[in-house]
Amino acid sequence: MSYIWKQTIPAGGKWSGRIGRGKSVTFTAQESGANVSVLLYNIHDLTERYNMPDTLKAQHTAHLTKGHVLMSDNGRALASIISDTIGWHDTISGYTTRSLTHQKYGASTYQESRNEWRRNGEENFSMELLRNGLTARDIVPNLNLFSKVYCDEEGNMNFVSSHCKKGDFITLRTEMDLLFVLSNTPNPLDLRGTYPSVPIEITVDEAAPVSSDDYCLNFRPENKRAFENTWSYDLLLGNKTLSTI
Amino acid sequence: MAVFNRVESNRNIENAIYDETVLAGDGWMHELKPGQALRIIDIEGNQAADTLFFDAENLEDHYSAVSTIANQGNIYLSTGTVLLSQSGKELVKIVADTCGRHDTLGGACSAQSNTVRYAHDTLPMHNCRDTFMLQLSKYDSRYTKRDLAPNVNFFMNVPVTPSGGLTFDDGVSAPGYYVEMEAINPTLVLISNCPQLNNPCNNYNPTPIRLVIWDSL
């Protein structure tokens, strides 16, 4: 796979960075059983961020896969899922905390465990948010790439353990300039008693512009209107839109 | 279909310390002290009471939908649900519920999300997030749009299927149904009585809710 930038996040690790619009961002599981918790913000207005309810209800879905658009709380398309080998990514289970991580995997400290210290989503997010001028107040329901959590008729949430295989990947196309905040920590509903040890590789490349036959654009009429909102925003800012329509 | 957990309250309205009707499209913000109970009554049925909670001792710590549902392993809120803040603090507990199912995945309507869901020309219509912002702006100048976390939709039915679908359904709430919650810690409750005119779940007819508060038993 070609790329202009590549980074591996080890298990327990975190990363934040700004990725401009019109890029393809591919996350690849280096082993089976991956989970990477993701928060997304508009670089130019950090109060605009990924919105789980708006994303789900606009597309009448409780899971995310190819064709779905990640929508902001301002009705715009932040990014679209342009490829996905796994068919289901979670956005309703949240992220781990220190107390949950200790409870599930046993207490660990850096003093004893050094780089095997079991870190958690809340603290990873908090550190990377502060680095970017935000605080824990800005944590919102996040994406959990590579995790499948389905609900039965009674609403009980079920984590599927064998969902993610080594080499599975998902590619997001950025529709706006985005701040990514990432934590490679387990899904809070993961049933395994052992802290997963799965590195994630991220590659970033240029994406082709959005054409009139784009899969994500045409996935639902709601998606097209979210793209149109993003393009209007670009035009008012004096940016060229990334669409070829 | 889920088995509804219908639990009626022992509290008598004659003993309440507060009793207000909030019209559709209006907002409401009130602090509950530990042990106080708030009942929200769906007067005419099929209304959505979009509700957010904040830790009254730390205004920046808001309700967390994902922590609340992951903690109980179930996406629907009903009797027994403890609503958690972002930091994991227990804010309120649902102690009675004659409706049986309340949503916390669907979020609140906004002018912007209305343009995505329905049509661009819905932008000027009334919506819950504007109501939330008006209430927050009157309450404390420290509040900003950052504090608009995904909320609870009392009386709204948003079923999720095992194959990952999500729909807005009618038929769970009815006139007089209510949900009652007790504050565990000092909690600010923010309500937008939903003005949505584009969604069949309230039969395109937003109606009033009644809010009743009791002191601790």
Contact B147 A137 (CB under 8 A): yes
Q: Is A47 on the interface with B (CB under 8 A)?
A: yes
**Residue B3: per-residue pLDDT:** 58
| Phi/psi at A125 (5° precision) | -60, -45
CB contacts, 8 Å: A89 with chain B: none
Per the listing, tokens 């007819």 go with B205
Per the listing, tokens 């009157």 go with B138
CB contacts, 8 Å: A189 with chain B: 70, 73
| C-alpha–C-alpha distance, residues A8 and A54, integer Å | 30
User: B202 is written with which tokens?
Assistant: 């309230």
A141, A152, A155: residue with CB nearest B66? A141
**What is the average pLDDT across B84-90?**
97
| C-alpha–C-alpha distance, residues A37 and A151, integer Å | 20
pLDDT-derived band at B168, boundaries 50, 70, 90? confident
pLDDT-derived band at B107, boundaries 50, 70, 90? very high
User: Mutate which of A45, A54, A84, A219 to disrupt the B interface (most B C-beta within 10 Å)?
Assistant: A54
Q: Please state the ipTM of this predicted complex.
A: 0.95
Contacts of B100 (CB under 8 A, 6+ apart): B2, B4, B5, B6, B78, B172
Q: At B64, which helix (H) or strand (E)?
A: none
CB contacts, 8 Å: A97 with chain B: 88
* Chain A closest-CA separation from residue B108 CA (Å): 8
Type of residue found at B187: T
Closest by alpha carbon to B81, among B100, B62, B105, B58? B100
Q: DSSP 3-state assignment of A172?
A: strand
Q: Is the pLDDT of residue B184 over 80?
A: yes
Question: Dihedral (C-alpha) A109, A112, A118, A124: value to the nearest 10 degrees?
Answer: 50
Per the listing, tokens 């702006």 go with B137
* Chain B closest-CA separation from residue A242 CA (Å): 19
CB contacts, 8 Å: B69 with chain A: 92-93, 157
User: Mutate which of B5, B66, B112, B116 to disrupt the A interface (most A C-beta within 10 Å)?
Assistant: B116
10 Å Cβ neighbour count for B23? 11
| C-alpha–C-alpha distance, residues B166 and A155, integer Å | 12
**Residue B19: per-residue pLDDT:** 98
Backbone φ/ψ region at B177: left (φ over 0), alpha (ψ -120 to 50), beta: beta
Contact B165 A60 (CB under 8 A): yes
Q: At B147, which helix (H) or strand (E)?
A: none
- For chains A and B, CB pairs below 8 A equal 141
Q: Long-range contact list for A228-234, CB < 8 A, 24+ apart? A: A228/B120, A229/A74, A229/A75, A229/A76, A229/A77, A229/B112, A229/B115, A229/B116, A230/A76, A230/A77, A230/A175, A230/A176, A233/A76, A233/A176
Q: Is the pLDDT of residue B1 over 50?
A: no
Contact A222 B116 (CB under 8 A): yes
Q: Is the pLDDT of residue B41 over 60?
A: yes
> Beta strand pairing status for B187-193 and B27-32?
antiparallel
Whole-structure pTM value: 0.96
Beta carbons of A71 and A176 less than 8 angstroms apart = no
Top pLDDT among B46 and A1 is at B46
Contact A62 B119 (CB under 8 A): no
* pLDDT above 70: percentage of residues in chain B: 97
Q: Is the pLDDT of residue B171 over 80?
A: no
| C-alpha–C-alpha distance, residues B172 and B152, integer Å | 16
| C-alpha–C-alpha distance, residues B134 and B149, integer Å | 15
Beta carbons of B177 and B48 less than 8 angstroms apart = no
B62, B64, B164: residue with CB nearest A150? B164
**Ordered mean pLDDT values, 10 residues apiece, chain A (245 residues):** 94 97 98 98 98 97 98 98 98 97 94 93 98 97 98 96 97 98 98 93 97 97 98 94 78
Q: Is the pLDDT of residue B2 over 70?
A: no
DSSP class of residue B43 equals S
B12, burial (CB in 10 Å: exposed 0-12, middle 13-18, buried 19+): exposed
Q: Is the pLDDT of residue B170 over 90?
A: no
* Chain B closest-CA separation from residue A6 CA (Å): 31
A57, A92, A135: residue with CB nearest B66? A92
Closest by alpha carbon to B112, among A220, A176, A71? A71
CB contacts, 8 Å: B114 with chain A: 75
Contact A142 B149 (CB under 8 A): no
B184, burial (CB in 10 Å: exposed 0-12, middle 13-18, buried 19+): middle
CB contacts, 8 Å: B64 with chain A: 94, 141
Closest by alpha carbon to A169, among A146, A144, A197, A138? A146
